[in-house]
Structure 1
Amino acid sequence: MPPKSDINKAGWEQSEFPILCETCLGDNPFIRMSKQEFGRECGTCARPFTIFRWNPGNGMRFKTTVICQTCAKIKNVCQTCLLDLEYGLPTQVRDTALALQNEAPTSDINREYYAQNMEGKLEANRSGLDSTRASSAAKDMLKQLARTDPYYKRNRPHICSFFMKGECNRGTQCPFRHEKPTDGPLAKQNIQDRYHGHHDPVANKIMAKHAENQGLKPPEDDSIMSLFLSLLPAEATEQSVRTMVIKSLPSMNPDKLRSVVHIAKSKSAFVNFKDRDSAERAAEAWANGIDIDGQRVNVKWGRGKSSVARPATTSTPVASTSA
């Protein structure tokens, strides 16, 4: 750390080696890195930190660290790609599955103060995350989505801007890619959203696809804003179901929950939301089910008001989505 006598460098970070995932490190066993102390501000806490730059392999682009090690340890992510080090997933996917609440502040001054306090707490720990109490449904979801093998394609060079304008004359000697860029939500990402897990388009795509594969594709009727829970524990009550729903969706405003209709006779319940987006986010978080009182509960979409069909998993009459 910087000398304590230099008050201008209080809180600045020095490090000898970066915290990287296997993909960003590359397949080259002889990596040569350049190191620059206090070379830039952290992309999340805005504190100066030591940056590293290296080439992960032949034909790849040079990569660099974008956040400090303290911020990387708080969220257990790579300093370059900001993906989880254990599962290789965006933080939004991991935090949604584990029902983790983001406690980091958003203002510049508070972010720096928060990072300095966390730095002291993390001295003896590798990560600031505690996932030991994760439910079995969350663990199953992460196991299915986890990327276990390196994805070196992510290290490819950026697209040549001159080629996009039709002005590149370097041909095969150009170190950048000659292809048309893809336009869409995946092309619009920023460090803050990726790190804190807010409105991350990559995470949204992964979770939506997983929910669809688990049979929770959103119905075409946009008026359906309820989810049907079956195989509830015998001792479950309306209050216990409501408590577990709110606990498993920490990022959702509790006011978005309209009602919980518990049907004790059939051990089922309807969870009704005030808007379709909240219902879809809940379906994605519960793609592998939800644990209530230590028992795995099945989740299905509810039925529309005009539908007379019954849910496939129960013989209980259908409740209205406006319950």
Structure 2
Amino acid sequence: MAHRLLQESNNEEATMPIVCETCLGPNPYVRMQKIPNGGACHISGRPYTVFRWRPGNDARYKKTIICQEVAKAKNVCQVCLFDLDYGLPVQVRDTALGIEKDEIPESAVGKEFQLNEQVKAGETDSAFGGGGRPSEMLERLARTTPYYKRNQARVCSFFVRGQCTRGAECPYRHEMPTSGPLSEQNIKDRYYGINDPVAAKLLSRYEEKGKLEAPADTEDHQAAPEHT
């Protein structure tokens, strides 16, 4: 087992994370922590180099949650899992480009085998980014500027229960959490482009109104990993 972990960890020796402008934050001189083999990828399960930073004085700490090979395969940010070119969920991008969903192995061994085969075939360098003119849907829905509100602190759980005594010094947000489909997000669904409530909201808005705007606050970064 130890030999297997060491062998897998050598697959990724990252020097910089693959992240979008929103997750990186407005400060170009942000200080990052680099943790080799600091976690297991939420998609593939393999060890990877974790990066952690704070994208602003009033923002919460953020860290990468998937390995770079997995991020490159879908051309997504290692933190929020949104497309790097358009700032959209994978499901929206794939729908706009007419890309059919890949068959997803159910077992962890199957997923690891699929990723290894992609690495051997050189298929982890995504074909989604940079090439050709985007579709009309992508041009209309694409987010072209960073949305730093996504980096704000999480809701204070003590405040929700009426027990927070820190007042203005509390580093968490003093407001009631939202409910509904957007509060039930899943990292694996976001990555594979299935059952994504944020994507469903965008696609519904496009079909009904065709407006040239993306939704305001989607809290996309708070997608939770799938429980097994």
What are the Cα deviations for residues 142-172 of structure 1, in whole angstroms up to 9, with x where unaligned? Answer: 0000000000000000000000000100011
| Matched residue, 1:199 | 195
Q: 2 CA distance for matches of 1:155 and 1:127?
A: 26
1:74-101, CA deviations, whole angstroms, 9 ceiling, x for partnerless residues? 0000000000001000000001111112
Equivalence map 1:55-204=2 (5 Å) = 55-103=54-102, 104-122=104-122, 126-129=125-128, 139-204=135-200
3-state SS of the aligned residue for 1:39?
Answer: strand
What is aligned with 1:20?
19
User: Residue 109 of structure 1 aligns to which amino acid in structure 2?
Assistant: V
State the 1:174 CA deviation. Answer: 0.5
> Could you list the runs of 5+ residues in structure 1 that have no partner in the other structure?
216-323
**Are the aligned partners of 1:52 and 1:65 in contact in 2 as well (CA < 8 Å)?**
yes
**Residue matched to 1:10:** 7
**1:217-228 map, 5 Å:** none
TM-score (norm 2): 0.84
**Separation (CA, whole Å) in 1 of partners of 2:144 and 2:129:** 21
Q: Could you report, residue by residue, the CA deviation over 1:115-150 in whole angstroms, capped at 9, with x for unpaired residues?
A: 222234448x742437857xx8x7111000000000
Distance 1:209 1:126, change over 3 A: same
- Alpha-carbon deviation of 1:9? 2.3
Q: Deviations over 1:13-39 (max 9, x none)?
A: 331111000000000121111111111
The count of aligned residue pairs is 207
> Whose strand proportion is higher, 1 or 2?
1
Given that 1:35 and 1:52 are in contact with CA atoms closer than 8 Å, whether structure 2 keeps it comes out as yes
Give CA deviations for 1:178-228 in whole Å, capped at 9, x if unaligned: 00111100000011000001100000001001111149xxxxxxxxxxxxx
For residues 182 and 98 of structure 1, the distance between their equivalents in structure 2, rounded to whole angstroms, comes to 32
Residues in 2 aligned to 1:47 and 1:10: alpha-carbon distance in whole angstroms: 10
Q: Does 1:39 align with 2:35?
A: no
> 1 CA distance for matches of 2:210 and 2:153?
35
Looking at structure 2, the residues matched to 71 and 199 of structure 1 have their Cα atoms a distance apart, in angstroms, of: 19
Larger Rg belongs to = 1
Q: 2: distance between equivalents of 1:34 and 1:130?
A: 27
Q: Aligned-residue CA RMSD in angstroms?
A: 2.1
Q: Secondary structure at the residue paired with 1:49?
A: strand
Letter in 1 for 2:111: R
Distance 1:186 1:7, change over 3 A: closer
Q: Which amino acid aligns with 1:105?
A: P
* Contact 1:73–1:128 under 8 Å retained in 2: no
CA 1:53/1:208 → structure 2, altered by over 3 Å: closer, same or farther?
same
Amino acid at match of 1:189: Q
For normalisation by structure 1, the TM-score amounts to: 0.60
Q: Which runs of 4+ in 1 moved over 6 A?
A: none
